[in-house]
Amino acid sequence: MRGTTALPGSPCVAPRSGEPPLHRLEVRLPGQVPFAAGGFDAMGPMSRAAFPHRHTFYEIVHVVAGSGVHVLDVERYAVRPPQLGVILPGQVHHWEGVRGLEGSLVLFTPEFLGGGGRDEALLRRLGERPWVDLDEATHRRTALLMEELAEEYRHGDDGFAGVLRSLLHVLLVRAARLPGGSTGPAPARGLAEEFVRLAGRAATEGLSVRECAERLGVTPGYLAETVRAATGRTPAALLREARTREAQRLLTATNLTVRQVAARVGFTDPAYFCRFFRRETGLSPGDFRKHHDHRTPSLVPADPRA
């Protein structure tokens, strides 16, 4: 994956008209390990950004003090430390009304995880419950692990990248063990995980289940059987969910018109998009925006010619 990192002082990626800024992970030198860890102050002012934005990288945040609200896509999570949060690449998030916010962050790009895909699978599952309260014992263990990651990152001794990956894997496995999590095997995990990964891109390309199956090199029937066995849901349902989620992000965090949002998630007919959106959420796009409007004047306005 290219373009996920930037050198100090580099501008953020110019967003498409009306979309939130897209921020890359800042690395100190070209070719440096795409990873960073430390406290909010060490990570800089963007770590507490109060305007909606996206990342090209993963962010894990361990909140140990403060109050306010963390907004992730269309959900609002009250800051009540100690808590652990996960932000996936492409998600829109920001902080609202925070006071005394303290804790530590771990930032890393998808390519940092290396091969195998197991940690990516853990992150996707954690992304389904991205903001969790911690009991005191889990809080202490998490704090120690976050400090180990930050210390290893700061020192940069020989082999530190491998140590960081190992510590990060421990953090992800432990987070997945929290109530509601699961690290157990799933049938045909590989193909199902590839489809879930593809569904995120398909949301903006308007791909059908058949087209996804072609990209994955299997028949639609086999894809449906495998995905249902692994997730309990059909590929079509997962595609609808991905398109709905992306539409919700665009409606809440951008100035795009409903017509523009429809086009961005693969609908050529805005009226059909409105019917689809109402069926999936119970609200029209306009009503949904009224109830979840987190846009800010700093964002690029919609292009009236689009």
| Whether residue 60 sits in one domain with residue 155 | yes
Which of 176, 201, 228 is the C-terminal boundary of a domain?
Answer: 176
- Tens digit of pLDDT for each residue in 229-285? 877 889 999 999 989 989 998 998 888 999 999 999 989 999 999 999 999 999 999
Using a 10 angstrom Cβ sphere, with 0-12 exposed, 13-18 middle and 19 or more buried, the burial of residue 17 is middle
| Whether residue 165 sits in one domain with residue 201 | no
Mean pLDDT of 155-169: 92
CATH number at residue 70: 2.60.120.280
3-state secondary structure of 36: strand
Mean residue pLDDT across the chain: 84
Which of 123, 155, 176 is the C-terminal boundary of a domain?
Answer: 176
| Whether residue 112 sits in one domain with residue 16 | yes
* 294 compared with 146, residue with greater pLDDT: 146
> Is residue 184 in some structural domain?
no
Which of 145, 176, 207 is the C-terminal boundary of a domain?
Answer: 176
| Whether residue 152 sits in one domain with residue 204 | no
Q: What are phi and psi of 175, to 5 degrees?
A: -65, -40
At residue 95, the pLDDT reads: 96
| Whether residue 240 sits in one domain with residue 170 | no
**Residue 185 pLDDT greater than 50, yes or no:** no
> Is residue 167 in some structural domain?
yes
| Whether residue 144 sits in one domain with residue 34 | yes
Whether cis (ω within 30° of 0) applies to the bond prior to 82 is: yes
> Is residue 300 in some structural domain?
no
Helix (H) or strand (E) holding 231: helix 220-231
Which residues lie closer than 8 Å to 74 by C-beta, 6 or more apart? 248, 249, 252, 292
CATH number at residue 258: 1.10.10.60
> Is residue 298 in some structural domain?
no
Which residues constitute the domain of residue 56? 5-176
- Tens digit of pLDDT for each residue in 191-206? 787 888 788 778 888 8
| Whether residue 47 sits in one domain with residue 147 | yes
Number of domains in the chain: 2
Report which residue type is found at 231.
T
| Whether residue 202 sits in one domain with residue 61 | no
